[in-house]
Structure 1
């Protein structure tokens, strides 16, 4: 029963991921921790995150903003390593609450206090990108902070979606290989992953159809609303 709950949540999470290019793991991870366990969730969701990113990114590769992609990958990779280390020494329950509060603050700012879409200063954006790496290393859920950075730097929705997902091609791929080599994906985990793959393909395809019918303004608003939901999920889980 627990695996079915995880698979159902996974399908919904990656439908959202197919629309926005991020946030799949942020919805799936809390349920995964409660059903299949923390370590198995990290490896399974890194693998599916990598596959989802490949499906999305290479269909829109012409829209990738390569300069921003390079900055995202380098900064996040450094702080992902730090986050993975923190993951071994700090209580995750406390860190997840801090994460939820931070996401809510940013989302509320975007919805109610940023009507002119005023840019954040670069130093703050780079701090947010570093936080994205830390959270990715600890929770496989750095997508919301990456989205905050990318929404400010990349205004076109196709370019936003393609560039953020290409980032996950590199980062999730590397993290998944690290977890597999470390032996975190056993026989039961392989079964979980095998069922997730067709769900991933279907949800990504449906998400792609939906996102083409959303206007630029609706897309940005939907993204900030989604961040609000994510923050609430992290606070109550």
Structure 2
């Protein structure tokens, strides 16, 4: 019974995180990974979340492909790709408990900053490019580089639809590369496949709901909810 309850909580996590992913273009995997690792284990969590969150990004990127900023997309992919390679190597070198707690602390600090420090600090381009490398590193370890990518994307992508489409395209490309690494690591087992198939239903529900809400809810209120959920998700990783 306890095992089934964990799976139910995981599917709820998939639903909530992908609803937010469809609306904002980021934060989905960052929300999903800490509880998912606790609920079903790091291997299945990385495999399933990368596919499911990637699928929601495919939907956004294909539907709004004309809004993708191709020049910025290539720049982001180049710098994040360097960081992602480093992050993958670090994940296999360091202990999971240490990485997970550090990851949780980073999420909590990001959420607290967004909740209580409203003033945006103007950073030089060199620091913004470093944020892209950091985004790649965290994405390589936990499929969750969204917060650091957003620091750069807010500076470089000014239109809402351009931001949403370009960021989604980034995740489509990078998650495709991660799938090969996950396959090599042996994450795709029969059990993982069964969980993935069931995850399709909450994912489709999330896509539908996200598109219903995106035009009806104010960006400020939704971002407030997102940062509160990030705070909770980071706490799950630390505990």
Q: TM-score range by the shorter chain?
A: 0.7 to 0.9
Deviation per CA, 1:11-69: give whole Å up to 9, x if none: 11111111111122222212221222111211111111221111111111111111221
* One of 198, 211, 221 as aligned partner of 2:201: 198
Match of 1:55 in 2: 59
Secondary structure of the residue aligned to 1:120 is coil
Q: Is the 8 A contact 2:35 2:237 kept in 1?
A: no
Work out which of the residue numbers 9, 14, 22 in structure 2 matches 1:10.
Answer: 14
Please state if 1:38 is matched with 2:42: yes
Matches within 5 A, 1:52-91: 52-91=56-95
CA pair 167-88 structure 1, distance change in 2 beyond 3 A: same
CA distance in 1, matches of 2:147, 2:233: 8
Contact kept in structure 2, 1:83 and 1:133, CA below 8 Å: yes
For 1:5 and 1:107, the matched residues in 2 are separated by 22
Pair 1:165-2:168 in alignment: yes
Q: CA deviation at 1:102?
A: 3.4
- In 2, the alpha carbon distance for the partners of 1:22 and 1:220 equals 11
Q: What RMSD, in angstroms, separates the aligned Cα atoms of the two structures?
A: 2.3
Unaligned runs of 5+ in 1: none
Counterpart secondary structure, 1:94: helix
Q: How many residue pairs align between the two structures?
A: 235
- 1:145 paired with 2:145, answer no
Assess if the C-alpha contact under 8 Å between 2:32 and 2:233 holds in 1.
Answer: no
CA distance in 2, matches of 1:225, 1:161: 21
Asked whether the 8 Å contact 1:80–1:134 carries over to 2, the reply is yes
| Offset, 1:3 | 1.7
**Corresponding residue to 1:99 among 103, 106, 109:** 103
